[in-house]
Structures are given as structure tokens and as C-alpha cells.
Amino acid sequence: MKRAVTLGGAIAAMAVTLAAIPSTAQELRIGFLSTATGGGAIVGRELGRGWKLGLKHEGWTKDGDKLGGVPTRVFYADDQLKPDVGVTQVRRFLEANKVHIVSGVTWSNVMMAVQRPVLRAGRLLVSSNAGPTPLAGKLCNPLFVSTSFVNDQVAEASGKLLTQEGVKTVVLMVPNYQAGKDVIAGFTRTYKNGKIVGRVLYKLGTADFQSELTRVRALRPEAIFVFAPGGMGIALLKQWKASGLNKSIKFYSQWTVSHLTLPAIGKAALGTFMADHWNPDLDNARNKRFIRDYLAQHKRHPSHFAVTAYDSAITIAGGIRAVKGNLSDMRAVARAIRKAPFRSLRGNLKFNANGFPIQPFWKLSVVKSGSGKPLIKNLAQIAIQGDSHVRNCPKNMQQ
């Protein structure tokens, strides 16, 4: 027992030391963590591109430029889709780079590992993608803000979509990790008047889906609902079409078919449907500028992953401006972000009490363009919703 008390005291002392950023500091320091190598790199690189475009639109292109009116340095690190590596990189941000804010974070298993050292150190954590449900509920924290979504928010919209469309039987297919389990929970919560006839959990990073597709064929559902981000979705859709299952089973997905993966998937994605937090056809000036400038720089259409990372940069800049550049209290920055209008590419949104957005979700489909190439097209708005976990956020942590 005595040893445990000593260890706890050491951890508390370290947290105090890490939190001690001079109030007179005139330089904002941000650490951006994403997945630049390994199986998750395709998504991580997209986050980085959206983030850098957001910084550029705020007037920051290099260390020393101002963000939100304050000279700023940005540090980058690769988590390799490994939670332990993510923790090591975040500790370097905190201890060596003395960052005020950590942003980025592609994957939920990495987020669950890194959120503790960041928040215990009194720094602001702004998620550009990962949205594990515990951070929306029992682990919500006034130093956490997300510009993306709770993992099961899109899944809840998907459940509503399949209910609206009268789908009677469905198989769920997700990777076996935190986000996959959150997706199943969200879909199950809102899918009504139908039956889930199977749940297929596959290993994160899977490239060969033959055994999983054999299971789907045997279950003979009316539809399949899939979560397969990045390279997993590319492999799955190609094998889906080759199997012939696309001729008899409707394909619905989230974070699987996007502008990021569609060029590689090609015609195998035609006729698929998805619920999404971003509608690329939105008619607002911010959205149009973002798409135009991204296309000019990268010679391809941006994806929803770039959108939420772009919004992280814009949101951080707005928060720093709102506190007039005072970097001594990151809670004040977080409060300023949550209270101000969220000027997202998705429209003017609001933050929920847990720091996640309340936002519209859209039904999109892949159709043939005039040139015959696959095109993602908006069909309808499904719902405007927050998340189901904010009610579990401790009231003393909501301010």
C-alpha cells in the first residue's frame, strides 16, 4: 500500500510539472499526432493534408507564423497505429516540446491510450478524427474537444437510414477494436423494425475478406452494413464485387467509401450507400474554398477525413483568438471553443456539453458521372443529432 501511495504521488508531481507552462509564454506550441506509416497511413496522411490546409487558411505556413494572433510552432509525430508508440510520441510532445495542445489522432485505440497523459498534464486535446465513446460519456473532460464525431454517431444515423428504407435483415461487419464495437452499438440503438442476422468482426488491418464474405453469403441478408476504413475498405469492395454478392445484397457503409478510397475502389463502389457527417455538395463559401484549394494542391478531391482535420486547425485558431492569446489556461481555451459558433465546413454547428459536435448526417451514394467515372452524390439529409453519451458525462466535468 505504501508503495502505491508513493507511485501515485510521483505521478501527481509529474502532472503538475508538465502542466507548468509559463503564463508569459508568447509562443503557442501544438503537437499533431497521426498515422504516417503502416496500415493506417492512408487515413493519417489525409488528416495531415486537411490540417495543413486549415493552418494555411488561418495564415500559418511555417514555425513563427501567427495562429489565432500568436506566434506558433507545430510538431509532428507518427503513432504507427500502435497505442504504445502513440503514448511515447505524446510524452515527447509534453516533456520535450512543451506543447499546449495535442491534435490529430487517427484511431480510437490510440486515442484511448494517449488521452490520459495529455489530459492529466493539463493540456488541451483536440481530436481531428478518433471519437471513442468513453470520451463522450464517463471519461468526458473539459480539456477535450472533437471536431469530428463520436464513433457511434454516424452508426446511429446509419441505423435510422436502414430503418427509413425498410431494410428487414442486415449483417454488420466491422473491425474488432474500440471503434468497431462502438459502430455496432450505435447502429443497434437506432435500427428498428428489422433484424440483425449476423455480426462479423474481423482483425484490424485485414486485406483478405474471403472467409468473412463466405459467412455473409450463408446468412443471406437483404443488406450489409460495413465499417472498413482506409485500405481495408479498398480490399473489401473489390472482393465484394468479385464475389457477386453485390448483385443480391445492398451495401451500406460508414468511413469505408470516400473520396480518399474511391479512386482505388473504382466501379466496385457503384450502387453502394453510406451515411456521412460531410456532404461535399454543401453550398457554402467555406466548403467551396476548401474543395477548390485542396484540389489545386493535391490534384484529387478531399475526403471527410481531411474535413475534420481542417476544422481542427480552424477551431484551435478561433479558441486562441477568443482568449486574446492567453496561453496560461487551456480550460479557458476549451470553454471558448465550446461556447463560440463552430464555423465548420459542414455549416455553423454547435458543440455538445462533452465537446463533440451536434451535426447533420447525410445519405450519399456512388453513381456514374457524365464521363462514366464513379461519383459520390448527396441524396438526402438523414438527421441532425448529437450523441447518446453526453448524459453520462459527469456534470462537474461539463464546464
Among 216, 208, 144, 150, residue whose Cα is nearest residue 182: 150
By the 10 Å C-beta count (0-12 exposed, 13-18 middle, 19+ buried), 5 is classed as: exposed
Strands 66-67 and 70-78: antiparallel
Per-residue confidence (pLDDT) for residue 225, from 0 to 100? 98
* Local structure of residue 284 (DSSP, 8 states): -
150 and 136 Cβ atoms separated by less than 8 Å: yes
Q: What is the mean pLDDT of the chain?
A: 92
How many CB atoms sit inside 10 A of residue 210's CB?
Answer: 10
- At 3-59, the pLDDT tens digits run 333 334 433 444 444 444 544 348 999 999 999 998 789 889 999 999 999 999 999
* Structural domains of the chain sorted by starting position, each given as residue range(s) with its CATH number in brackets: 2-149+283-351 (3.40.50.2300), 152-276+361-385 (3.40.50.2300)
Per-residue confidence (pLDDT) for residue 397, from 0 to 100? 62
Per-residue confidence (pLDDT) for residue 304, from 0 to 100? 94
Per-residue confidence (pLDDT) for residue 72, from 0 to 100? 98
- CA dist 157 and 255 (Å) reads 13
- At 75-109, the pLDDT tens digits run 999 999 999 999 999 999 999 999 999 999 999 99
Per-residue confidence (pLDDT) for residue 7, from 0 to 100? 35
Taking only Cα atoms into account, the Rg of the chain, rounded to an integer number of angstroms, comes to 21
Among 29, 50, 32, 48, residue whose Cα is nearest residue 40: 48
Instruction: Give the residues of the chain that fall short of pLDDT 70.
Output: 1-25, 396-399
